[in-house]
Structure 1
Amino acid sequence: MASAQPLRALNLRAFDETRAGVKGLVDAGVTAVPSIFHHPPETLPHGAHRPHRFTVPVINLSPALQGTARAAAVAEVRAAAETFGFFQVVGHGVPEAATSAMLAAVRGFIEEPVEAKAPYYTRDTGRRVRYQSNLDLFQSTAANWRDTLFVEMLPEPPAPEELPAACRRVAPEYARLVQRRLGRALLGLLSEALGLRPGHLEEEHGCLEGLSLACHYYPACPEPHLTLGTPRHTDASFLTVLLQDAVGGLQVLVDLEGAPAWVDVPPVAGALVVNVGDFLQLMSNDRFKSVEHRVVSNAVGPRVSVACFFRTDRAAAPTTVLAPIVADGDEPRYRSTTVEEVVRQYYKVKGLAGTSALQHFRL
């Protein structure tokens, strides 16, 4: 009889070779979650949420974008970034037509026949457009109930023929709108929240130079109590902007009366979710919080989301320095490092619940 580990490896390989992802399992009519997707019980949601009054802040950026009430917007963004690390924005300048088209494009691609998607299915990280199920399928302790189309969009967008037809027109335009309208506005507000001029984070630290899209598709799960859509993690980014549909499932870990608790980030019509990444927590010298979040599995679906990660040009990662911006009277809490070093440490501790890559750089 084969031992558990070699059998698991065989099952992982067999799943990957279908190039059909989790969507393929659902299409095949599975009524039970395969064992490769079973997460340890201690990592899964248990029962009802603890009662609380916490709600993720929703900030209307429209007045600030129009040149009024900027100080109020800076104060709201500062409070959210310093306290929770998560907030939602409305009045953000990205048209509803663009967000709806982006979600529809992702769903359209993932729901195409396997043979249409197979040419994009790869684990070659050198390719700028990659469709796959689980980036770390062969390294993680449990697979996630999710398929992903990953696109490195900036500094140079992929050639049109590199993108799936369903996303060819929509994805570059959506990324452009998020970068130029929302990304620039957010980094300006966050710069001011640190006591700097509005263009500081963008111009001095290149926070808008790299942009990647992770387009996630979470099929309805027959046994959601056994698996996760995305396990707990922080983001290796300056900032992440998430577009989510109405299904829900995103949760953030917050401190409620001295104890950590998972709380929902409910879909809000017209809103985009914003969260601080590890790069910005280090640069802000712990002023801004990069907090853990996850996506729970759901018996309804599919859930579709698009995460825009503001990172840096991958080629520049070895030389892009991350150093704490220290306020008067404060002391640096981190040593200077590079984006490449932080990303390397991020993947080294990935999967170790509650362990931040930033601890390695703390003074």
Structure 2
Amino acid sequence: MKYYYNRCQLVSATRSHLHRPPSNIARMASVVFSGADRLRDLHAFDDTKAGVKGLVDAGITSVPYFFHHPPDPHPIASSPSIIPIIDLAEAATDRDYVVAQVRSAAETAGFFQVVNHGVPVGILDGALAAVRRFHVEEPVEAKAAYYTRDRARKVRFNSNVNLFLSPALNWRDTLFMEVSPNPPSPEEIPESCRVVAVEYAAAVRRLGARLFGLLSSAMGLPEDYLGGCLEEGMGVAAHYYPACPEPEKTMGTSKHRDPSFLTVLLQDKSIGGLQAMIGGRWVEVPPLAGGDGGASALVVNIGDLLQLVSNDRFRSAEHRVVASGGGGARVSVACFFRPESASAREYSPVVAGGEAAVYRSTTAGEFLRCFYGKGLDGRSALDHFRRD
């Protein structure tokens, strides 16, 4: 079957470009995904450097076949209330109580939301606005200058990091920035989000230090024990999920676990879609306002590397983002506390008493090669490191 995307609509959408060199959107409109050669079709999509938004801007009315996901058999819970909400301001008067809350959330759900987290509302709103400026307002040709799959680049824009490995693509474009320990120069960051990106990353890094302190205490360890996780590195992913003409056929982000110690996520206030797998059900993790000044809550989830270090005491939760239909585009900013792929530091499970280590030791490079090498296929990278 050939996918022409209502060619009459696409031709009219690009008619204004007939007397100019073809733009990325015009090239997208001329692409035909035949279905006969998947790899060729993926390259054709990637070569436009316009991402999923390019498909939408070109006027498609059906989702290309390589975005199709099979139905998920797990039910969706009727209530999101089981996702814990933790007020970090309470740590000032009763730290043990907050530590207990963090411990419970990390051991059971693997997800929690934090309010009164200390990140100013102006920085939160500015970060989301900057993501929209880049993905929506920047000309396609300007964004294309940042489009790359070279992980050595500190700043990179693309669609689907595992484009050629994942069984099905996700309806999402991403601007990714490596912000520590070796940040990019200001000139490497798109001007539309240059100032805000630096401010937001610094604020979340300060929050990360508090969270790792609480998690260290939750493991019964000195407060600074997990401080090294903070120093290893942080990456910022600015995600844009365009409204989808057939949201039931695809996913915004397919189910996966993060290859990080910890992830801190800022969601926009109007479009939901984030779901966590808890107790065999998909549970909504809704946008939440709370705390001083009406600042958005931040979502925190345990990553695979912290599950390894905690020797399965903390849970790295599987999660996904469903595609948005007529409600509009979704925007989010995820900060991943994880090592650089070149890090040679070895990570081992912390065992207590007479318990046995569940995992073997690994370096960040080995772990990340395993994660990226398999694509977002629904399997946990942790399985590769379990002891027999």
- Fold agreement, TM-score > 0.5: yes
Q: Take 2:382 and 2:234, find their aligned partners in 1: how far apart are those partners? A: 21
| Match in the other structure for 2:234 | 211
Fraction of identical pairs, as percent: 57
For the pair shown, which has the larger CA radius of gyration, 1 or 2? 2
| Match in the other structure for 1:57 | 84
Q: Take 2:59 and 2:34, find their aligned partners in 1: how far apart are those partners? A: 25
Deviation, structure 1 residue 68: 1.7
Decide which of 315, 325, 340 is 2:342's aligned counterpart: 315
Q: Take 2:135 and 2:38, find their aligned partners in 1: how far apart are those partners? A: 26
| Match in the other structure for 1:179 | 205
Decide which of 249, 259, 265 is 1:226's aligned counterpart: 249
Q: How does 1:108-123 map to 2 (within 5 A)?
A: 108-111=133-136, 112-123=138-149
Q: Take 1:5 and 1:325, find their aligned partners in 2: how far apart are those partners? A: 49
Mean alpha-carbon deviation: is it higher for 28-37 or for 170-179? 28-37
After superposition, the C-alpha distances for 1:119-155 in whole angstroms (9 at most, x for unaligned) are 1111111111001111111222221110000100001
| Match in the other structure for 1:28 | 58
Q: Secondary structure at the match of 2:163?
A: coil
| Match in the other structure for 1:303 | 330
Q: Take 1:15 and 1:360, find their aligned partners in 2: how far apart are those partners? A: 32
Mean alpha-carbon deviation: is it higher for 243-252 or for 339-348? 339-348
Q: Secondary structure at the match of 1:23?
A: helix
The change in CA–CA distance for 1:5 and 1:35 in structure 2 (over 3 A counts) is: closer
The answer to whether the 8 A contact 2:35-2:65 is kept is no
Residues 1:360 and 2:384 are matched in the alignment: yes
Q: Take 2:46 and 2:364, find their aligned partners in 1: how far apart are those partners? A: 30
| Match in the other structure for 2:352 | 327
Q: Which amino acid aligns with 1:151?
A: M
The answer to whether the 8 A contact 2:149-2:161 is kept is yes
Decide which of 68, 75, 88 is 2:100's aligned counterpart: 75
Q: Take 1:5 and 1:24, find their aligned partners in 2: how far apart are those partners? A: 19
Q: Take 2:80 and 2:178, find their aligned partners in 1: how far apart are those partners? A: 38
Q: Take 2:262 and 2:83, find their aligned partners in 1: how far apart are those partners? A: 17
The answer to whether the 8 A contact 2:370-2:381 is kept is yes
Q: TM-score, normalised by structure 2?
A: 0.85
Deviation, structure 1 residue 77: 0.2
The change in CA–CA distance for 1:53 and 1:122 in structure 2 (over 3 A counts) is: closer
Mean alpha-carbon deviation: is it higher for 140-149 or for 333-342? 333-342
Deviation, structure 1 residue 190: 0.2
Q: Take 1:96 and 1:171, find their aligned partners in 2: how far apart are those partners? A: 14
Q: How does 1:133-148 map to 2 (within 5 A)?
A: 133-148=159-174
Q: Take 1:273 and 1:63, find their aligned partners in 2: how far apart are those partners? A: 18
| Match in the other structure for 1:275 | 301
| Match in the other structure for 1:152 | 178
Q: Take 2:105 and 2:77, find their aligned partners in 1: how far apart are those partners? A: 22
Q: Take 1:179 and 1:26, find their aligned partners in 2: how far apart are those partners? A: 35
Q: Take 2:239 and 2:78, find their aligned partners in 1: how far apart are those partners? A: 30
Deviation, structure 1 residue 24: 1.3
The change in CA–CA distance for 1:188 and 1:220 in structure 2 (over 3 A counts) is: same
Q: Take 1:336 and 1:7, find their aligned partners in 2: how far apart are those partners? A: 40
The answer to whether the 8 A contact 2:135-2:240 is kept is yes
Q: Which amino acid aligns with 1:55?
A: I
| Match in the other structure for 2:24 | none
Q: Take 2:256 and 2:202, find their aligned partners in 1: how far apart are those partners? A: 26
Q: TM-score, normalised by structure 1?
A: 0.91
Q: Which amino acid aligns with 1:135?
A: V
Q: Take 1:217 and 1:150, find their aligned partners in 2: how far apart are those partners? A: 11
The answer to whether the 8 A contact 1:183-1:208 is kept is no
Deviation, structure 1 residue 32: 1.2
After superposition, the C-alpha distances for 1:279-318 in whole angstroms (9 at most, x for unaligned) are 10010011100011000001122100011000123332xx
Q: Take 1:159 and 1:133, find their aligned partners in 2: how far apart are those partners? A: 23
CA RMSD of aligned residues (A): 1.9
| Match in the other structure for 1:238 | 261
In the alignment, structure 2 segments of 5+ residues that lack a partner are 3-32, 290-295
Greater than 6 Å deviation, 4+ residue runs = 1-5
Q: Secondary structure at the match of 1:19?
A: coil
Q: Secondary structure at the match of 1:341?
A: helix
Q: Take 2:219 and 2:334, find their aligned partners in 1: how far apart are those partners? A: 25
| Match in the other structure for 1:254 | 278
Deviation, structure 1 residue 6: 4.8
**Count of residue pairs the alignment pairs up:** 348
Q: Which amino acid aligns with 1:356?
A: S
Deviation, structure 1 residue 9: 2.3
The change in CA–CA distance for 1:30 and 1:4 in structure 2 (over 3 A counts) is: closer
Q: Secondary structure at the match of 1:333?
A: coil
Q: Take 1:356 and 1:21, find their aligned partners in 2: how far apart are those partners? A: 27
| Match in the other structure for 2:71 | 42
Q: Secondary structure at the match of 2:126?
A: helix
Deviation, structure 1 residue 361: 1.8
Q: Secondary structure at the match of 2:96?
A: helix
Mean alpha-carbon deviation: is it higher for 326-335 or for 295-304? 326-335
The answer to whether the 8 A contact 1:212-1:311 is kept is yes
Q: Secondary structure at the match of 2:231?
A: coil
The change in CA–CA distance for 1:118 and 1:177 in structure 2 (over 3 A counts) is: same
